[in-house]
Amino acid sequence: MGQYSKVVRGKKKSKPGLVPDAVKIFIARRIIDTTAACVLAAGLFVLLAVASYDNADPSMNTAATPGNGGLHNWMGSAGSYTADFLLQTLGIGALAFTFGFSAWAVRMSWKPWAYEQIFEQ
């Protein structure tokens, strides 16, 4: 420890930044809100894709064309591929993604005080 243990650390004077802290907090909050909305949209996409699953829709293991019988999945071609993959691998447990994404989005959007503490340090 020696000589470094006797150093007294004082609080540095911080220079005012280019952007005020209130603006930084506002921007950080909007980024978090946008991320939460995207995660919630992903959860809703998975829910609607799995809910409207049809085994006759084109997917990785079904050689069907959308023109023959029409595409029955509400989320289109991407939804049919996603639903088929999730249901083939996880079964009904694919709905856990829906609830997980939704809970994550709600959790992100309900902590406005946590992001103000970032700039208090």
pLDDT digits (tens, 9 = 90+) for 17-43: 898 888 888 898 899 899 999 999 999
Q: How far is CA 1 from the centre of its chain?
A: 46
Question: How is the chain split into domains, by residue range?
Answer: 19-120
Beta bridge pairs of residue 62: 59
* pTM exceeds cut of 0.85: no
pLDDT at residue 11 is higher than 80: no
Q: How far is it, in rounded angstroms, from Cα 23 to Cα 16?
A: 13
Structure confidence at residue 67 (pLDDT) = 61
pLDDT at residue 6 is higher than 60: no
What three-state secondary structure class fits 77? helix
Helix ranges restricted to H, 1-121? 21-51, 66-69, 76-90, 95-109, 112-116
The CB density around residue 22, as the number of other CB atoms within 10 Å, is: 10
Q: By the 8 A CB rule, do 35 and 101 touch?
A: no
- Residue 58: CB partners within 8 Å, gap ≥ 6? 64, 65, 66, 71, 77, 80, 81
